[in-house]
Amino acid sequence: MKVLTVFGTRPEAIKMAPLVQALTADPDIESVLCVTAQHREMLDQVLWLFELTPHYDLNIMKPNQTVAQITTNVMLGMEKVLQEESPDIVLVHGDTSTTFATALAAFYQKIPVGHVEAGLRTFDKYSPYPEEVNRVLTGHIAELHFAPTEQNRRNLLAEGISDDKIFVTGNTVIDALLTVVEKPYTFIEDVLRDIDFENKRVITVTCHRRENLGEHMASIFKAIRAIAEEFSDVEIIYPVHMNPKVQTAAKKYLGEMERIHLIAPLQYQPFVNLMARSYLVITDSGGMQEEAPALGKPVLVVRRETERPEAIGAGTVKLAGVDQETIYEMTKTLLTDPEAYGKMAHAVNPYGDGLACQRIITALKTTVEAVAAEADQSKV
Ligand code: UD1
Ligand code: UDP
């Protein structure tokens, strides 16, 4: 069985790395890896950590690229790779434009697609934008759906996806997380080495979503600034996404402030260990809503909705929205009310047990022959 795995951004790389490692180690599988490099430096950090060497690198990233540019460049690049490799199945992940464009390119060549992290929905097509639509469309192209949770499976069933094509596997992010989180851990990065984790309360912040750029990001950052001004025992650590628009906003609202550390994107291992030593996490990231609960860290999600309701149900994640006052108040409550903090700060694992990759490989072995034969018939 020849499996072509394709990804392009940091979060996809983190979540697909353990799967590519497992595919490569399996003697029954020929594993081929293609990166689109929708991200460059942030992708390369992950490839390096997990010791992955892609067979193909489309190298498409351009500063301030538009979604249309990503989509067309990925499709054109993937057309050639798919023709050359002719895999039995193509694996894509989640909701990025790399994911959707690759799935569409594979469909045009009648090559079956397996969708990892399938079935998450906000039911609002503009939030996250354009990811919600990328994920829905990929779901309708894919032959096999690897859903992290039962809720994700139900979302797919409600859209008419056949139950025998859905596999509830857990999220591969937990597989990745468990390989890098360490106790004790020594930071080598200057800012992190100097933080007094014993006596300070660290808030890890990230924020990058396209729909938050502009007004929302300004509100989020002003709330965070107010918290840093008010609480002298709080240190804010914010590894800023490389998107130039995010960099500019972060510097404008949070730059040169005591107790706020704007730093370069961290390698996955120090980042996870930073979260593990933080008091709380404020983010609009998808992946961190899955990782932080597994580490027992409260998360305030600075978005209007989430496609990851499981951790809200489990109590470790709260939706804070994008209103400055609400974000400030919710953060303040967690800093001043031990009972409210205690209710959120417990480790839960709604997203898996670290065995998602093995489940995906088992499902591939039992189904790929049939879906590949079906696709072959349609080529006649
Ligand atoms: C993309 C995904 C989003 C995912 C996010 C993870 C789409 C439409 N969006 O959003 O789903 O959550 O990645 O981070 O697929 N840049 C660099 N170096 C890098 C990475 C980015 O310089 O290593 C800069 C470039 O100027 C680039 C910009 O960041 O143009 C934005 O990157 P892009 O992939 O277009 O969108 P993201 O907002 O990162
Ligand atoms: N992450 C990282 N270094 C950082 C910030 C985040 O390794 O400096 C990891 C984080 O642990 C998570 C992923 O990157 O696994 C999240 O990526 P991002 O926020 O870019 O995308 P999203 O999760 O929103 O899709």
pLDDT tens-digit readout, 244-296:
999 999 999 999 999 999 999 999 999 999 999 999 999 999 999 999 999 99
pTM (predicted TM-score): 0.97
Active site (catalytic) residues: 95, 117, 131, 208, 210, 241
The rounded distance, in Å, linking the Cα atoms of 313 and 196 is: 33
Q: Model confidence over 51-89: pLDDT tens digits?
A: 999 999 999 999 989 999 999 999 999 999 999 999 999
What is residue 183's predicted lDDT score, i.e. its pLDDT?
Answer: 76
Mean per-residue pLDDT for 139-168?
98
DSSP structure class, residue 60: -
Residue 330 has pLDDT above 70, yes or no: yes
Please determine, for residue 141, whether its predicted confidence score (pLDDT) is greater than 70. yes
- Give the confidence band of 375 by pLDDT, cuts at 50, 70, 90: confident
The string of pLDDT tens digits covering residues 95-135 is 999 999 999 999 999 999 999 999 999 999 999 999 999 99
Ligand 2 atom closest to the CA of 95, numbered from 1: 25
Percent of the chain residues topping a pLDDT of 70: 100
Q: What is the mean pLDDT of residues 23-33?
A: 97
Q: Quick check: 210 and 129 in contact, CB under 8 A?
A: yes
Q: Which ligand lies nearest to the CA atom of residue 242 in the structure?
A: 1
Q: Whose CA is nearest to atom 14 of ligand 2?
A: 11
**61, 285, 290, best to mutate for ligand 2 pocket (most atoms within 8 Å of CB):** 285
Per-residue DSSP letters for 307-325? S-THHHHHTSEEE--S-HH
The least confident of 59-63, 194-198, 231-235, 347-351 is 347-351
What span, in angstroms and rounded, lies between the C-alpha atoms of 128 and 122? 8
Query: According to DSSP H, which parts of 120-267 are helical?
Result: 131-141, 150-158, 172-180, 190-194, 215-230, 244-254
322 confidence band (pLDDT: 50, 70, 90): very high
pLDDT category at 368 given cuts 50, 70, 90 is: confident
Q: Is 17 in the pocket of ligand 2 (CB under 6 A)?
A: no
Q: Are 204 and 262 in contact (CB under 8 A)?
A: no
Which of the listed residues 10, 93, 116, 281 should we mutate to test ligand 2's pocket, taking the one with most ligand atoms within 8 A of CB? Answer: 10
Q: Residue 139, Cβ neighbours under 10 Å: how many?
A: 23
Give the Å distances, CA to CA, from 298 to 29, 130, 275. Answer: 40, 27, 10
Distance 10 CA to ligand 2 centre (A): 7
Q: Which residues contact 347 (CB under 8 A, 6 or more apart)?
A: 293, 294, 295, 296
Tokens of 44: 């390369």
Return the beta strands (E) in the chain as ranges: 2-7, 30-35, 56-57, 89-93, 113-116, 144-147, 166-168, 201-206, 234-239, 260-263, 280-283, 299-301, 317-319
Percentage helix, strand, coil, to 5, in the chain? Answer: 50, 15, 35
110: region left, alpha or beta (phi > 0 left; psi from -120 to 50 alpha): left
Centre of ligand 2 from the C-alpha of residue 270, in Å: 12
Per-residue pLDDT band for 380 (boundaries 50, 70, 90) equals: low
Average of per-residue pLDDT values in the chain: 96
Question: Does the structure show a pLDDT above 90 at 182?
Answer: no
d(CA 246, CA 255): 12
